[in-house]
Amino acid sequence: METHKTDKGASWLWDFPVAVVLLTRLPLPALPKQAFARSARAVWAYPVVGLVLGLTVSILSWVCAGMGLSTAVTAGLVLGALILLTGAMHEDGLADTADGLWGGQGAARRLEIMKDSRIGAYGVLALIVAMGLRWLGLADAPLPAIITALVVSRAMMGPLMLALPHARNTGLSHSVGAPPASSVLLAILIGATVAIVLNGSAGVLALVIAALVATIIGLIAKTKIGGQTGDILGATQLCTEITILIVLIP
């Protein structure tokens, strides 16, 4: 497995803005080139990015509530906001993962399908089911649960980046590299803290089930394509987010 990129001369203070650039479309000033030498170490900041997204959509939810909008309409607006804020990269990852893992025979063909910009039947159906469940989860789950889902789901990406080899020698995940265990553990600690503080014992259950879902996705990816890609990581984030929302519905 490729080790994390060298970060000589780069400060850990760049980790959060680098994570923002990698995971969202939030406007930031151009970062210096040396900041991206810490792309792998910046994995610890992934759940912090989720926290920023959670606080952002919380403000949107409060505004919608003040306008007297229904929970269904509010959830739809929150869903749309999340798609815009992240550039739909996780949704794209889920569609490519569904098309590739179930639409091809052999690892090489599956990776070829995943790289294709066109979307197939598996990808369309995966998005329909996922967006439907996500919308319902956003409508029924309280704000602490929504924030937890956005934070913990991003913490779940790190363990797969550390545990699985790169399935191809190109792509975003390969360019980032494998994170050090310390960054992955810190990401999990941040996610666990948010989950437990905001949800109590229910947060522990959400963590366990989210970890189980991420593990299953990782095992399938290892079996079918020999490792992980950016698409696999995006699918993991989205699937664990939906799982947490469902688990934390009162």
Q: pLDDT by residue (tens digit) across 190-221?
A: 999 999 999 999 999 999 999 999 999 999 99
**Nearest-angstrom CA–CA distance, 38 and 176:** 8
Structural domain count of the chain? 1
Q: Which amino acid does the sequence have at 147?
A: I
For residue 5, the model assigns a pLDDT of 47
> Residue 1 domain-assigned?
no
| Helix, strand, coil tally for the chain in percent (to 5) | 75, 0, 25
Range of the domain at 27: 14-32+44-247
Name the pTM for this structure.
Answer: 0.92
> Residue 179 domain-assigned?
yes
> Residue 38 domain-assigned?
no
13-58 residue pLDDT tens: 889 999 999 999 999 888 888 888 888 899 999 999 999 999 999 9
Tokens coding 44: 């610890």
**Nearest-angstrom CA–CA distance, 10 and 29:** 17
> Residue 70 domain-assigned?
yes
Give just the sign of the alpha carbon dihedral 21, 51, 228, 106: negative
Contact present, 84 and 25 (Cβ < 8 Å): yes
CA distances from 151 to 140, 157, 180, 191, 219 (A): 18, 11, 20, 6, 23
